[in-house]
Every structure is written in C-alpha cells, then in structure tokens.
C-alpha cells in the first residue's frame, strides 16, 4: 500500500478532490501554506493499493496544470516593517503538484 501526499494550489484542490473521489479514492484535505510565495495551498492525503498508484498519479497530472502568474517578490527573512525594501512583481510558475509517495507498512481503520 502507498500513501500519496499531493501539495496543490488552492484553485486546483476542489477539482482534484472531486476527480479522485469519482475514481473511488478516499481523500483527506489539509489547508497548508507554501514557503516561497507564502500563499495558501492544499495538501491531500490518499492511501492506495500498489496496483492503483498509476491511476492516482494520472488523475493528479490531468487536473493540476502549471501556469504563470505575477507575484510580488517574497520579503526576505529578517526584513523589518517600514524598512526601505520595496517588493516588485515577478512572473512565477504556479500550479502543478508536488507529490510524495510513501510505502505504508501497516494500515489500520477502526
């Protein structure tokens, strides 16, 4: 059995949860925050049998597409409020998914 941890942009999360559930996969949704842009994202957890892993990864790939957007440059750590630092817009790639697949030694549901 595998545990799939998928970190996706908030605007892809609802479609991905619906698509996974339509395919018969249970999903746990966690609200999380990204470190680079400091914006909300969603972390999804789903347990799957080894033989269905490719199916889950295909759904994630189909729903979560990368796109470009403008964002203010992240404030460097240690910058104090009111300092001379002025953020400027940069084009960044957002969306897609960061996926971790872990082997599960034991699954217990009570």
More confident site: 16 or 110: 16
Output the pTM of the full model.
0.74
E-strand stretches of the chain: 2-9, 28-33, 40-48, 66-72, 89-95, 97-103
Q: What is the pLDDT of residues 63-93, one digit of tens each?
A: 998 777 666 665 555 555 555 556 677 766 6
From 32, 93, 97, 7, select the one nearest 58 (Cα to Cα).
Answer: 97
Write down the CATH number for the domain with range 2-73+87-103.
3.30.70.120
pLDDT band at 32 (very low <50, low <70, confident <90, very high): confident
More confident site: 48 or 83: 48
What's the whole-number average pLDDT of the chain?
A: 84
Both structure tokens of 7: 């970190």
Contact 97, 6 (CB under 8 A): yes
């Amino acid at each position: 059995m595998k545990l799939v941890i998928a970190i996706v942009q908030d605007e892809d999360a609802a479609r991905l949860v619906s698509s996974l559930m339509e395919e018969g996969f249970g999903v746990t949704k966690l609200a999380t925050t990204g470190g680079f842009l400091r914006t909300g994202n969603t972390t999804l957890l789903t347990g799957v049998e080894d033989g269905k892993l490719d199916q889950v990864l295909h759904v994630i790939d189909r729903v979560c597409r990368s796109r470009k957007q403008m964002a203010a440059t992240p404030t460097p750590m240690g910058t104090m409020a009111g300092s001379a630092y002025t953020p400027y817009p940069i084009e960044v790639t957002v969306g897609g998914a960061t996926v971790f697949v872990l082997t599960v030694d034991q699954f217990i549901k009570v």
